[in-house]
Structure formats: C-alpha cells, structure tokens
Amino acid sequence: MAQLYFYYSAMNAGKSTSLLQSAYNYTERGMRPEIFTAALDDRFGKGKVASRIGLESSANLFTPKTDLQDTIQTLNKEKVIDCLFIDEAQFLTKQQVQQLIYVVDNMNIPVLAYGLRTDFLAETFEGSRYLLAWADKLIELKTICHCGRKAAFVVRIDEHGNAVKEGEQVEVGGNDRYESMCRKHFAELVW
C-alpha cells in the first residue's frame, strides 16, 4: 500500500534539495514523478521547484482553490504517476490534505510532502497541522541554529534586524528575512 510521508523542518534544511533528489531517482528509473508547489511562492519563478544548491525542476502549481484529487486523477489518466511530490506543503488546506489521502489510499500513489512545521510565531500552518496529524510517516529534516543546537523554529527578522513578534503568517512582498533557530534562542527573541 502507498503511504503519505511528511518531511518537515525549519527554513533552509534542504527540503527542496531532498525533494528534487528523490524525484530524480524516479525519473532515472524511467518512472513518472509529478511535482506540485504552492503558487504563492514565486521566489524561483512560476511552476518550478529550485534548491539553494542549484537543482531545479518544473512543477505544477497549487493554490488554496486547487482540487488536488481531481487534478491528479486527470494527470494520472494521461500517464500513470508513480510518486507525487508536494513542496511548500505547509500551504495546503485541510481539504487538500484529505484529497492527498484519497490519492494515497484509493489511487495507491505514494505522496511525499515537504514543508515547514511552524511559522515565525511558532504556530503550525494549516497544511502542516493536518500532515503531522494524518501522515503515515513523519520525517524531520534537520538544520542548525547559530549556537549549534538543532533549529526547529523560524524567526522573522525585519529590515532593522529585529525579530518580528506579530503579523500575518504569510508575508507578501516585504523585506523581512527568516532565520532558523533552536527553541531556546527562538524563545529569547520572540516569546
């Protein structure tokens, strides 16, 4: 039986690199991986997943309105999908996570979702919340804080270098940057 995997981490833990490497393994064996990423993330242009170390691949885009079950059924009729990869999976809605579960359990296609566990206030994203609750396998991708501890938290830093303590979960078009930190350093700056 196919399974639903959730690879979760803070920022810059190599999620896209890991996704692209795994998708390539399917391509290399003559199989068909299909990649989706969130439309609101246009850091690397539309319809593309790119990693910091230079790998990239074209991708289907999803918005909160995309019916993933319907879209994937249509794609699967053209040519059978061997594995489905979802980047920026924190932006999935609850309903879309349920649609992916349909794909796993009823279409028998493995789904590998990659996303942030929490936002800059340490609250879960909707997609991550349900993936953490419902996935078959949870795999943490690790990165490190400036102090050397595991960094599981994300700090939003404004243009003056200060930690941001309130605001929208998804910032569009600002100058803020993000830094992954351990819980201790996150708590000192944000809580």
Binding site for Zn ion (CB under 5 A): 145, 147, 149, 182, 185
159 is catalytic: no
- Please provide the size of the chain in residues: 191
Helix (H, G, I), strand (E, B) or coil at 163: strand
Q: Is 138 exposed, middle or buried (0-12, 13-18, 19+ CB in 10 A)?
A: middle
How far apart are the C-alpha atoms of 157 and 188, rounded to whole Å? 14
Could you tell me the smallest distance in angstroms from the CB atom of residue 146 to Zn ion?
A: 6
Distant-in-sequence, close-in-space partners of 41: CB < 8 Å, separation ≥ 6: 88, 91
Could you tell me the smallest distance in angstroms from the CB atom of residue 143 to Zn ion?
A: 11
Could you tell me the smallest distance in angstroms from the CB atom of residue 186 to Zn ion?
A: 8
Could you give the residue ranges of the DSSP H alpha helices within 9-162? Answer: 15-28, 68-78, 94-107, 126-134
Instruction: Please check whether residue 100 is in contact with residue 111, taking contact to mean a CB–CB distance below 8 angstroms.
Output: yes
* Of residues 38 and 145, the one with the C-beta less far from Zn ion: 145
* Of residues 116 and 145, the one with the C-beta less far from Zn ion: 145
Q: Which of 88, 123, 126, 188 does the annotation list as catalytic?
A: 88
* Of residues 26 and 178, the one with the C-beta less far from Zn ion: 178
Residue with tokens 């700056």: 189
Pairing of strands 153-157, 177-181: antiparallel
* Of residues 12 and 98, the one with the C-beta less far from Zn ion: 12
How far apart are the C-alpha atoms of 30 and 44, rounded to whole Å? 27
Could you tell me the smallest distance in angstroms from the CB atom of residue 184 to Zn ion?
A: 6
Catalytic residues: 88
